[in-house]
Amino acid sequence: MVKTDILLESGTNELEIVEFYIDEQARKDEDQDKYRGFYGINVAKVLEIIRMPELTDMPEVSHPAVLGAFNLRNQIIPLIDLAKWLGKNRIESEELKVIVTEFNLTRSAFLVSGVTRIHRIGWDEVEAPTNYVSALTVNSITGVVKFSNRIVFILDMEKITADLNPGMGETKEPAPQVVQEVRTRHLRALVVDDSNMARKMVTGVLEKAGFEVGTAENGEQAWQKLMAIRNNAEQQNRPLKDFIDVLVSDIEMPIMDGHNLTKRVKEDHTLRHLPVVLCSSIITDTLRHKGSAVGADDQVSKAELGELASKVIQLVER
């Protein structure tokens, strides 16, 4: 698979997803032999799609879903059986595909039954899962896309890799001078992320540094909160910084993504002075230009959360 250069324009609230499927044994009470479940992953996380490689066993793997590792252009990449992680009884096939990914500055590969196509859609077509669906799927789904003949679930790949590597989300304690600076200034942040796990991680990092933190689950919800803050500031004839000091936003979110949210903030006559930090697993050297194009003041990978508080303070001081 060759990655495309579609969607070079930032802030359009669009994305591309690779749709793939997992074939599993049907239940005994069903007429068909197998059930095909459809899933999706953001193209921005996909490096390539390959056939099943030759694997090397890894010593003392932490999870049965980790099948081994393979060498891809001099890089050792672990292979994860996505069906096994999801608790599915996958049907063996000679047409198995491997999706090689890069996010949070880490490369991984996921074994699936097959890949169908790439869809270009708007984030407003991606529905957030209900609390009931999230609970039933152990919060492993970040979005739902409804097509005419099937439903595609967008998986929380960060949660999957974090579960396989519990130490991945650990961050250092903030320096005492950072905490003192934040508390002296009474800094307030709005954190936006559709992933419950990621939202708690980012919020926890900022709260440890002394920030007062509010949260939103997607860009649309954050925009409504920012509109209320802006209107309140204008009605009281007070500066915006009396109410909020920084916006920290994920990029991939249903309804409205972080790039579109940033674009709206920077085009608003009052909000444009609010520092915006994009904090996402898909911030890489090749995709950083997208955040810059919509006016983000800084960008931090979720693999580098330990740097977040100090970067925010630098922006506020600036």
* Three-state secondary-structure class, residue 214: strand
Least confidently predicted of 5-9, 164-168, 204-208, 289-293:
5-9
Q: What's the confidence (pLDDT) of residue 94?
A: 83
Q: What's the chain's average pLDDT?
A: 89
For the cut 90, the answer to whether the pLDDT of residue 183 exceeds it is no
pLDDT band at 7 (very low <50, low <70, confident <90, very high): very low
Highest mean pLDDT among 91-95, 177-181, 273-277: 273-277
For the cut 60, the answer to whether the pLDDT of residue 6 exceeds it is no
Q: What's the confidence (pLDDT) of residue 68?
A: 95
pLDDT band at 170 (very low <50, low <70, confident <90, very high): low
Q: Taking residues 4-26, what's their average pLDDT? A: 80
pLDDT band at 225 (very low <50, low <70, confident <90, very high): very high
Catalogue all structural domains in the chain, each as residue range(s) with its CATH number.
Answer: 14-166 (2.40.50.180), 171-317 (3.40.50.2300)
Residue 111 has which token pair?
């074994």
Instruction: With CA atoms as reference, report the closest residue to 103 among 310, 287, 278.
Output: 287
| Model pTM score | 0.85
CA atoms within 13 A on the CB side of 173: 3
Q: What's the confidence (pLDDT) of residue 168?
A: 59
**What is the percentage of the chain residues whose pLDDT exceeds 70?**
93
Cα–Cα dist 122/101, whole Å: 22
For the cut 80, the answer to whether the pLDDT of residue 165 exceeds it is no
Q: Taking residues 26-48, what's their average pLDDT? A: 85
Q: What's the confidence (pLDDT) of residue 23?
A: 95
Are the beta carbons of 281 and 299 closer than 8 angstroms?
no
Q: Taking residues 42-53, what's their average pLDDT? A: 95
Q: Taking residues 6-12, what's their average pLDDT? A: 65
Q: Check residue 125 and report its DSSP letter.
A: G
**What is the percentage of the chain residues whose pLDDT exceeds 90?**
62
Instruction: With CA atoms as reference, report the closest residue to 52 among 105, 119, 97, 102.
Output: 97
Q: What's the confidence (pLDDT) of residue 5?
A: 46
Cα–Cα dist 128/119, whole Å: 18
For the cut 60, the answer to whether the pLDDT of residue 4 exceeds it is no
Instruction: With CA atoms as reference, report the closest residue to 154 among 246, 248, 37.
Output: 37
Amino acid letter at 195? Answer: S
Provide the phi-psi class of 15: left if phi over 0, else alpha when psi is between -120 and 50, else beta: beta
Q: What's the confidence (pLDDT) of residue 123?
A: 94
Q: Taking residues 8-25, what's their average pLDDT? A: 88
Q: What's the confidence (pLDDT) of residue 171?
A: 66
pLDDT band at 28 (very low <50, low <70, confident <90, very high): low
Alpha helices in the chain (DSSP H): 82-86, 131-136, 157-164, 176-185, 196-208, 219-235, 258-267, 288-293, 308-317
For the cut 50, the answer to whether the pLDDT of residue 3 exceeds it is no
Residue 128 has which token pair?
């957030």
Q: What's the confidence (pLDDT) of residue 291?
A: 93
